[in-house]
A and B are shown apart, each in its own frame.
Chain A
């Protein structure tokens, strides 16, 4: 029972991280119908920048804010420079471009920072919380992860649901041509979508690094599981990303705990297949009109 409890807590803290990166993938997919395979690597790169800032004496929270801003700028620039020229081409091309970007970023990080894994500080203590006289597998930092991801999620939802900017973003993603005719500047809104995703990606990088072997490749598997979460959630829905990421984290934790760590990805695959058999476009997708 206590093992089950621990597995659940581990699943939640990992799942929240997958949710954050899944949110980034969803933001980009909504805007441009592209899966950004470089999203994890972008978060890795900005976390290295944070690491450099910290080494130069910048305080943690200043570095934190700066790096989120850099993530925004990087995401927006990626859209402008690499993705925009591919508009109207085969939908495979942007996939390959983001894969290329992933490879370049990992190479650049390796060349500049070396390949040795290093430590990265956590925002709060990593000692488990105590209840009565037992320490549980959920630390102060895990609480911070939970709060940070939820705050980001709520901010994005408010932006989409309660502001005209968000309304325009949703409109331009849903029906780009019509929005353009109605005078919405679709281009800048797509860039904005990528920028917001950049923030989510940077945040993920900062949250994963302290409990991981922080180096050029530490985001690779996080991206795969975040992608799983995003697909389960339906790729279009921020709430779906949250739930999908969480479910993926829990599934992996239970499978790893009870069946062995080598079976974790197989567990995730089975989960994904079951979810997609029930809802081929994810659990939180809009019911699409049948095209005849």
Chain B
């Protein structure tokens, strides 16, 4: 090529050529061969889907289990012939919870790997960063693993959440505080981001403003040690109930310094932050010193004993629940290494249930699979999908949230414990009926419908 004919003194040319060559070399990538079919990622025998999740980095603990658990359910589906004859190929890439990485990895999935849909990607800042791109490419962004109030937006018709929005959780727990701890002083401890702010929005809707005596928060990027100052301030303000929108690590880092100063308020913790198998190991540090004794380890249960939280499907400690039994068998058979490491916990349950939701969406979309057809199928029949959830999914053409209800549970040392490979952790019992509400100003009311049992196909073959 002519541009190589540079005079020896012309350093710039050589340098630029070198740079360009470097890039060309680096980018020699085979362009993916999209099938002749009009829908990317779909052939008569397969459908490719993808996700971005944190597998490494500070946000990975716990969350890195969800995608492999989804993979277990897809393996089960594929072992039984797939959906409408199509096997599900699920690719999940690590974004380390950095939105810039999410942007790159999502483009890789869409532009290079030609995925049909993005399913079960995790995080609010990360998914907000690709919401525009995925919608502009008409790639469905399904069942985002985040309770942000931002996924149901007519500007982004291809996006939808799955778990209850944080505001819904806040409202249900706020209503419980109002009725069960009437007249008590309430303090907040929340993560200073969308998660915390949306949760507080829900609490504020239910609780009288005068009862809230202190609002403490923490920044997750600078969460280094115990939240001693926040707890000291809550104690000083006289808060008798502390409502927390915290990640599991922060729950532990709040309860520990509170115990140091002998402060033991009634904790009310969001679903995310109250997962006993995740919080328990962190709190166990408090009980152990030098050599741990059985009595001290039991004291860990003491810290979590009596904590109020919410659940939107039956927790793993409820071993007699048919969903829990099915999930356990499925995980043990189709993701044995994950099962050996994490067992069935809140995260792996979440992954299995979410993946099963997607499988039903594929079924509802029918043999002639298109992206628009999939979205239409979810809007039309999403409400009747079978899930372990206490309330049905609330999908419609205008509502893109999943569950909008939960029951309030109390962690209790008398309840059956949650047994995982990391140990045996405190379980919970329901203290309220299942309640439903919505993100807006709708009231919190009792859910009277029925709760689905796992379908025969699942319980039989898993």
**Which of A's residues lie within 8 Å of B, judged by CB?**
2-3, 6-7, 10, 14, 59-61, 107, 110, 114-128, 134-137, 139, 141, 208-215, 217-218, 220-222, 225, 253, 256-257, 260-262, 264-265
A210 B285 Cβ-Cβ under 8 A: yes
- Judge if B302 is at the interface, Cβ distance under 8 Å: no
The contact of A212 among B61, B62, B219, B224, by CB within 8 Å, is: B224
**Cα(A110)–Cα(B283), bound, Å:** 21
**Cα(A137)–Cα(B288), bound, Å:** 19
The contact of B341 among A61, A114, A119, A253, by CB within 8 Å, is: A114
Closest to A14 in B: B225
Question: What 11 new A-B contacts, CB under 8 Å, besides A213-B253, A213-B282, A256-B229?
Answer: A61-B290, A116-B278, A117-B249, A119-B286, A122-B288, A126-B285, A135-B261, A212-B225, A212-B253, A217-B58, A264-B219
**Cα(A214)–Cα(B236), bound, Å:** 29
- Judge if B238 is at the interface, Cβ distance under 8 Å: no
A217 B229 Cβ-Cβ under 8 A: no
- Judge if B230 is at the interface, Cβ distance under 8 Å: yes
Q: Closest CB-CB distance, A103 to chain B, in whole Å?
A: 11
The 7 closest A-B pairs by CB, nearest first: A119-B285, A121-B288, A213-B249, A221-B224, A262-B219, A119-B284, A135-B262
Closest to A141 in B: B289
Across-interface contacts of B228 in A (CB, < 8 A): 6, 10, 137
- Judge if B304 is at the interface, Cβ distance under 8 Å: no
**Cα(A115)–Cα(B342), bound, Å:** 11
Across-interface contacts of B60 in A (CB, < 8 A): 110, 115
Across-interface contacts of A126 in B (CB, < 8 A): 256, 259-260, 285-286, 289
Given contacts A6-B229, A135-B262, contact A215 B217 (CB under 8 A): no
Closest to B224 in A: A221
B260 A123 Cβ-Cβ under 8 A: no
Q: Closest CB-CB distance, B96 to chain A, in whole Å?
A: 11
B236 A125 Cβ-Cβ under 8 A: no
Across-interface contacts of A256 in B (CB, < 8 A): 229
B285 A120 Cβ-Cβ under 8 A: yes
- Judge if B281 is at the interface, Cβ distance under 8 Å: yes
The contact of B262 among A2, A60, A124, A128, by CB within 8 Å, is: A128
B229 A253 Cβ-Cβ under 8 A: yes
Q: Closest CB-CB distance, B189 to chain A, in whole Å?
A: 11
A122 B218 Cβ-Cβ under 8 A: no
- Judge if B34 is at the interface, Cβ distance under 8 Å: no
**Cα(A139)–Cα(B257), bound, Å:** 10
Give B274-298 interface residues, CB cut-off 8 Å to A: 278, 281-286, 288-292
**Cα(A264)–Cα(B290), bound, Å:** 32
- Judge if B415 is at the interface, Cβ distance under 8 Å: no
25 contacts between A and B (CB under 8 A): A6-B229, A60-B289, A60-B290, A60-B291, A110-B56, A110-B60, A114-B341, A116-B281, A117-B281, A119-B283, A119-B288, A121-B285, A122-B285, A123-B289, A126-B285, A126-B286, A135-B262, A208-B225, A211-B285, A213-B61, A213-B249, A215-B61, A218-B224, A260-B219, A261-B223
Closest to A133 in B: B262
- Judge if B20 is at the interface, Cβ distance under 8 Å: no
Closest to A215 in B: B61
Give B214-228 interface residues, CB cut-off 8 Å to A: 217-219, 222-228
B282 A117 Cβ-Cβ under 8 A: yes
Closest to B283 in A: A119
Q: Closest CB-CB distance, A10 to chain B, in whole Å?
A: 4
- Judge if B232 is at the interface, Cβ distance under 8 Å: yes
Across-interface contacts of A262 in B (CB, < 8 A): 192, 217, 219, 222
**Cα(A7)–Cα(B261), bound, Å:** 12
B229 A7 Cβ-Cβ under 8 A: yes
**Cα(A121)–Cα(B281), bound, Å:** 11
Closest to B63 in A: A115
Give the most central of A59, A119, A253: most B CB within 10 Å. Answer: A119
Across-interface contacts of A137 in B (CB, < 8 A): 228, 232, 257, 260-261
Across-interface contacts of B284 in A (CB, < 8 A): 119
Closest to A59 in B: B291
Closest to A208 in B: B225
Closest to B257 in A: A137
Across-interface contacts of A128 in B (CB, < 8 A): 260-262
Across-interface contacts of B217 in A (CB, < 8 A): 260-262
Across-interface contacts of A122 in B (CB, < 8 A): 285, 288-289
- Judge if B366 is at the interface, Cβ distance under 8 Å: no
Across-interface contacts of A217 in B (CB, < 8 A): 57-58
Across-interface contacts of A135 in B (CB, < 8 A): 260-262
B282 A118 Cβ-Cβ under 8 A: yes
Across-interface contacts of A114 in B (CB, < 8 A): 341
- Judge if B252 is at the interface, Cβ distance under 8 Å: yes
B252 A213 Cβ-Cβ under 8 A: yes
Q: Closest CB-CB distance, A131 to chain B, in whole Å?
A: 12
**Cα(A25)–Cα(B285), bound, Å:** 28
**Cα(A232)–Cα(B204), bound, Å:** 43
Given contacts A60-B291, A115-B60, contact A3 B261 (CB under 8 A): no
**Cα(A208)–Cα(B286), bound, Å:** 13
Across-interface contacts of A221 in B (CB, < 8 A): 222, 224
**Cα(A115)–Cα(B289), bound, Å:** 23
Closest to B65 in A: A116
- Judge if B64 is at the interface, Cβ distance under 8 Å: yes
**Cα(A212)–Cα(B252), bound, Å:** 9
**Cα(A262)–Cα(B191), bound, Å:** 10
Q: Closest CB-CB distance, A55 to chain B, in whole Å?
A: 11
- Judge if B233 is at the interface, Cβ distance under 8 Å: yes
Across-interface contacts of B224 in A (CB, < 8 A): 212, 218, 221-222, 225
B233 A3 Cβ-Cβ under 8 A: yes
B222 A264 Cβ-Cβ under 8 A: yes
**Cα(A114)–Cα(B421), bound, Å:** 13
**Cα(A215)–Cα(B247), bound, Å:** 15
**Cα(A212)–Cα(B227), bound, Å:** 10
B262 A115 Cβ-Cβ under 8 A: no
A257 B233 Cβ-Cβ under 8 A: yes
Across-interface contacts of A139 in B (CB, < 8 A): 260
Closest to A64 in B: B290
Across-interface contacts of A220 in B (CB, < 8 A): 58
